[in-house]
Amino acid sequence: MKIGAVHLFLGNEQFLIENKIKRLINESGADEYNITYYDLDTSTLTEALNDALTPPFMSAAKVIVIKNPLFLSAENNLDKDEKKRFLEYLDSPMETTVFIINGYNIKPDERKTEVKKLLAGNVNYSKELSEIEMHGWIKRQGAINNVVITDEAAREFFRLVGKDLMNAKNELDKLIAYVGENATVTADTVKKVVIREIQNDVFALSNAIIAQDKNKAIRIYRDLIKIGNDANYLFYLVAKSMRELLTVNLMLKGGYNQAAVAETMGVSSGRAYYMVKNARSLDYELLRKYVSRLSELDYKIKSGQTDVRTGLEFFLFGI
């Protein structure tokens, strides 16, 4: 690995991107005192550049990682001076700094000069795995932990959890801890352990809608209904989540950062982080369509034209 380079990571698979960044950091040889993270929702690119241009402390290399680089997309821009400094850095990066840009879920605007320069350099793409690739990944995770996961179990796990590797890894860790080392995971084991975790989290329904995973959303909804959750409460939860996401999406377009979102919405910084992350994963027109359809459904439910259980399932079929 070349120290003194700029690395751009793009794609819609957060787990793979973060793992690749961790490997790159390990390869750099930088110690914990020379690794700094900048979230551009709460920090500026100028701060990151100033740090990048500072020599490492008692080490051969330092690492700068920035996330939420919205300035690469069409929805945000650097000011004139910051853009000039960034372009200068791209032309002549600090020889002792590994500069990493985590562009998870960012759609680069290839018309921008800074984007063109980055795309001509060190770019790594991580895309969502296919169903077959997911089956292989699930079985490999078991093998790493000396656990055999049968083909049927892998298929059942995928059916319940879907393609989100971050969530899948969390569920797999629970599953592997449940069976213990040198055990075999069957489809029945998966149904017993994984479905229980999903049922305990009604917010998984909103998360599936945000991920636009129709099949998963419908499965979770039916599971939640089956174990006695009230359809009216689920409808309220979904409608509230979509309205919040639309509001946050508009706030981001207006230049709000994570801290401003937290203050305006009256939520914690941690909650604001996920609201901002989810709002970015859906475009404005799609969110507006969801909110409009849910408002129409609310009217039909209250006027007796449809029942909430059927109406919400019909909505989920349309995501």
What is the per-residue DSSP string for 117-128? Answer: HHHTSEEEEE-P
pLDDT in tens, 126-147: 988 988 999 999 999 999 999 9
* Same fold? 6-126, 231-317: no
- Do residues 21 and 126 make contact, with C-beta atoms less than 8 angstroms apart? no
Q: Does domain 6-126 have CATH number 3.40.50.300?
A: yes
- Tell me, what's the pLDDT at 1? 55
- Tell me, what's the pLDDT at 56? 94
Q: Which residue has the tokens 């860790």?
A: 173
Domain boundaries, the chain: 6-126, 131-200, 231-317
Rounded distance between C-alpha atoms, residue 243 and residue 288, angstroms: 9
- Tell me, what's the pLDDT at 133? 95
* Fold classification of 231-317 (topology level): Zinc Finger, Delta Prime; domain 3 (1.20.272)
pLDDT in tens, 199-251: 556 677 887 888 888 888 898 888 888 777 788 988 988 898 899 999 999 99
Reference 220, options 244, 242, 252, 198; nearest CA is: 198
Rounded distance between C-alpha atoms, residue 316 and residue 319, angstroms: 5
- Tell me, what's the pLDDT at 250? 93
3-state DSSP call for residue 66? strand
pTM: 0.69
What is the per-residue DSSP string for 129-178? Answer: PPHHHHHHHHHHHHHHTT-EE-HHHHHHHHHHH-S-HHHHHHHHHHHHHH
- Tell me, what's the pLDDT at 200? 55
Can you say whether residue 17 is alpha, beta or left, with left for phi > 0 and alpha for psi between -120 and 50 degrees? alpha
Neighbour tally for 125: CB within 10 Å: 13
Class of domain 131-200: mainly alpha
Rounded distance between C-alpha atoms, residue 18 and residue 36, angstroms: 15
pLDDT in tens, the chain (319 residues): 566 689 999 998 889 999 999 999 999 999 999 999 999 988 999 999 999 999 999 999 999 999 999 899 987 889 999 999 999 999 999 999 999 999 998 889 999 999 999 999 999 999 889 889 999 999 999 999 999 999 999 999 998 888 888 888 988 999 999 999 899 999 999 988 886 655 556 677 887 888 888 888 898 888 888 777 788 988 988 898 899 999 999 999 888 988 889 889 888 777 788 888 888 888 888 899 999 999 999 999 999 999 999 999 999 998 8
Q: Cα-flanking dihedrals φ and ψ of residue 266, to 5°? A: 70, 40
Q: What angle do CA 141, 147, 151 make, to 5 degrees?
A: 75
